[in-house]
Amino acid sequence: MKQITFYLDFISPYAYLAFEALPAALQDLSYHVVYKPVFLGGLLKHNAVLGPAEVPPKRAWIYRHVQWLAQRDGVALDFPAAHPFNPLGLLRLAVACDAQGLPNRYVCETLFRHVWVGGADAANPQRLADVTQALAPVQEPGSAEVKAQLKAHADEAIARDVFGVPSFEVDGKVFWGLDALPMLRAYLDGDASLVGSEADTRWDRVHAWPSGIPARSA
């Protein structure tokens, strides 16, 4: 049985759609998912990348796109009252729901729907208090231990070359984005273009391709 590490941030509509799509996308395959919340803003900062919502035309396109995808796939999706928002309270709550900082699918589903169903303020303190009470975390969400676990998830993600969410890591390979689910399934299904020594060589060879754009100086 393969283990898939699913790196997610509740702020991302694509992560929400991927979370909803994952069971059907991998139906009849043998796998186990470990959910690891990460702060998307930290990943973007590490890679010196603007967040999608920081580029106004891109933000508008993403909002149109995810609404269309949700309607196509029959997934309930209502934008929260404000987006983007600070997701740290939700991320810490997710981590706090397990002693090892690894929330189960129910916890992740609850928090994704807290954000993406109903159109309310995702960061509202009273709503956060209510969902905290409902989930009954086993750790204190604001504790140093929980903050350290959340940071450890991010540090691990960066070490594994995760640069955004949703990302799925299996066997040291990272599959990024909602649109990578068919490729992830193909890998788990033993697709010869993705599995085997020749495929591994091809997978790693991309690092050696020359770029025609000079590297930026520090």
Three-state secondary structure string covering 70-125? HHHHCCCCCCCCCCCCCCHHHHHHHHHCCCCCCCCHHHHHHHHHHHHCCCCCCCCH
Task: Tell me the C-alpha distance between 108 and 34, whole Å.
Answer: 11
- Residue 14's pLDDT band, with cuts at 50, 70 and 90, is very high
- Please report where in the chains the tokens 């009252």 appear, as a residue: 81
- Residue 217's pLDDT band, with cuts at 50, 70 and 90, is low
What's the pLDDT score for residue 214? 80
Q: Structure tokens of 126?
A: 């009273």
Task: Tell me the C-alpha distance between 169 and 161, whole Å.
Answer: 10
Q: What is the CATH number of domain 2-208?
A: 3.40.30.10
For residue range 170-199, what is the model confidence (pLDDT) as tens digits? 999 999 999 999 999 999 999 999 999 999
* AA letter at 57: P
For residue range 84-143, what is the model confidence (pLDDT) as tens digits? 999 999 999 999 999 999 999 999 999 999 999 999 999 999 999 999 999 999 999 999
